Amino acid sequence: MRFDELDLEDEILDGLEDMNFYEMTPVQEHTIPVILEGRDLIGCAQTGTGKTAAYTLPLLNRLLLEGNEENVVKSLIIVPTRELALQIDQQFQGFSYYAPISTTVVYGGGDGKGWDLQKNGMLNGSDVVIATPGRMISHLQNSHVDLSHVECLILDEADRMLDMGFSDDIMKIISYLPRERQTIMFSATLPPKIRELAKTILRNPAEVNIAISKPNEAIDQSAYVCYESQKLGIIRELFAEPAESKTIIFSSSKLKVKELAHTLKRMKLDVAAMHSDLDQSQREEVMLNFKNNKVKILVATDIVARGIDIEDIGLVINYDVPHDPEDYIHRIGRTARAAATGSAITFVNEEEQGKFHQIEKFIEREIRKAELPASVGEGPKYEPEEGRKRGGRGGRSRSKGGDGRGHGRGRRDRLRDKPRGGSSSREGEPGGDAPRGSAGASGAAAPQSAGAASSENSGVSAPAAPAASSAAAPEGDKPRKRRHRGGRHRRRGKGTPEGGNASGRVEANPSGGE
């Protein structure tokens, strides 16, 4: 279906023609007529299907017909990130080139000047406000922005906003809006929490589902099953020749993004990093350079996995497997947008095989496993089920303090401290204590040391040493050591030692100190 078949104003059709937009995508064909009728709508469509134009075009048409003589905020679009807000504003500027429509973008970061520009734009009655939830809340509380005249509310990437914890902020913003309004909600998925939100804020909505949670068929998907140490070697082979199109390399952590970008720069690749530690001006510069082909390779976190529409991205590389199958779909959805084609490659190490198999099950498709380049050597076998079995049990670690079975260090101590001369430790084992004053046997000297400690600390004279239960060791022989079981000193002789209890255990600290 063509755009000129819709009941759109000439100013919008002229803008579409200048932008070379003629044919509608399926999501546009199913949603634009419904929105033009003024009905509430919940739309579910994968990324890259043209859903931004699906709500911006009918909104522009409505604003052109109604005008804004009172200079009030007429429409509010809430999005999860500043990048998506800026992109939507750019689309508005293109579509409304021949129409007198004003927009204000409201997002965090920046300086006081940016705050004042956002505040003045809303107070002066911008036709369309495109805002992130947190910043909008700040303006409502501090800038006295009036949203009581809003006639159309749009929530884009609603599922992501709920995942980011913006549910309460969204409901607070809605409390400032009039009850009589048109509400449009777009989401990549429709989990129960999105259904609940829709019941709360939408009135008898139409529902449009376009290929829920399935990658674009125009994307050539493949995977390299490799060891972690082989990933950089594969990158080197992939970019041995200059690429004609842009590439995005995704990684799950900003630390890894920084390290990977630094490493690729040392490989003389034209690369830039995109992550949340960059301030707003740095992010805008990176994205502008990427769009203008000053940078050919963008290493990024999932901050650019959704809502970023950049042309000529021919390759997406998942340097590590995404934690969630939905994230995989959004990542690879950066390529093959509109009618274009593209490729998506995922690096899968041994520990990531289980997660990657879950992605394959989720999209109901076995992804082709590519052969590793000869220069990196052989990789592991793709055995996700076996890997899960092996990962269930690890080795048993033991500390130096014992064997983990309540036996202390007795046996090891006996082996380590076994006398090197004279009779074995088993000879005369029932024999008595070593001679008093002997420095060679800590076990035998412990009772006396304990007594000494008690005397020193309390002023009470130390008890006499217990009597030997057998003959003293011959002069010149090293004293035998008493057996040490379970961390307790036990007497082998008959009777109770002085300073001990009925069990033969000395109560004072055997080490003679604190």
Q: Give the end of a domain, one of 165, 185, 210.
A: 210
Closest CA to 326 of 138, 181, 486, 190: 190
- Contact between 286 and 273 under an 8 Å Cβ cutoff? The reply is yes
> Do 85 and 118 touch, CB atoms closer than 8 A?
no
**Comparing 40-54, 97-111, 337-351, 431-445, which segment has the lowest mean pLDDT?**
431-445
- Per-residue pLDDT at 244: 81
Reported pTM: 0.58
- 3-state class (DSSP) for residue 249: strand
Average pLDDT over residues 277-305: 87
The answer to whether the beta carbons of residues 270 and 296 sit under 8 Å apart is: yes
- CATH number for the domain harbouring residue 352: 3.40.50.300
Tokens of 28: 């546009």
What was the pLDDT predicted at 380? 95
Shared domain check, 354 and 278: yes
**93 Rama sector, left if φ>0, alpha if ψ -120 to 50, beta otherwise:** alpha
How big is the chain by its Cα radius of gyration, in Å?
37
Asked if residue 137 and residue 27 are part of one domain, the reply reads yes
Range of the domain at 492: 436-456+481-514
316 and 245 together in one domain: yes
Helix (H, G, I), strand (E, B) or coil at 356: helix
Residue 246's SS3 state is strand
pLDDT in tens, 494-504: 444 444 444 44
Q: What one-character DSSP code corresponds to residue 319?
A: S
Q: Could you tell me which residues come within 8 angstroms of residue 185 by beta carbon, excluding any fewer than 6 positions away? A: 41, 42, 43, 154, 155, 158, 194, 197, 198, 201, 202, 205
The owner of tokens 């289980």 is 354
What is the Cα–Cα distance from 145 to 141, expressed in whole angstroms?
A: 8
Report the distance separating Cα 51 and Cα 391, nearest Å.
Answer: 42
Cα atoms in the 13 Å half-sphere on the side-chain side of 426 = 1
Report the candidate in 203, 181, 242, 268 with the shortest Cα–Cα distance to residue 41.
203
pLDDT of residue 388: 53
SS3 178: coil
- Per the structure, the count of domains in the chain is 3
Which residue would you say has higher pLDDT here, 182 or 462? 182
DSSP class of 277: T
205 and 232 housed in the same domain: no
As a whole number of angstroms, the distance between CA 367 and CA 117 comes to 48
**Residue 168 sits in the same domain as residue 256:** no
What's the mean per-residue pLDDT of the chain?
79
**97-101 average pLDDT score:** 92
Amino acid in the structure at residue 34 = V
Length of the chain: 514
Q: Please answer whether residues 208 and 45 qualify as being in contact, where contact means their C-beta atoms are separated by less than 8 angstroms.
A: yes
- Asked whether residue 123 falls in the same domain as residue 44, the answer is yes
Lowest-pLDDT range of 216-225, 232-241, 435-444 = 435-444
Last residue of a domain, one of 191, 210, 229: 210
> Residue 407: inside a domain, yes or no?
no
Question: How many Å separate Cα 426 from the centre of its chain?
Answer: 60
- Judging by beta carbons within 10 Å of its beta carbon (0-12, 13-18, 19+), is residue 293 exposed, middle or buried? exposed
Q: How far apart are CA 225 and CA 378, in angstroms?
A: 9
Burial class from Cβ neighbours inside 10 Å (0-12, 13-18, 19+) for residue 283 reads buried
- Please say whether the beta carbons of 8 and 15 come within 8 A: no
Answer yes or no: do 238 and 368 share one domain. Answer: yes
Distance CA 353, CA 111 (A): 45
| Residues 403-415, mean pLDDT to the nearest whole number | 42
- Does residue 33 share a domain with residue 176? yes
Whether 148 and 226 share a structural domain:
no
Q: Could you report the per-residue pLDDT of 465-509, keeping only the tens digit for each? A: 444 344 444 444 445 555 545 444 444 444 444 444 444 443 434
Among residues 390, 414, 448, the one where a domain terminates is 390
**What residues pair up with 186 in beta bridges, in sequence order?**
43
Comparing 508 with 100, the larger pLDDT belongs to 100
Is the domain of 189 the same as that of 227?
no
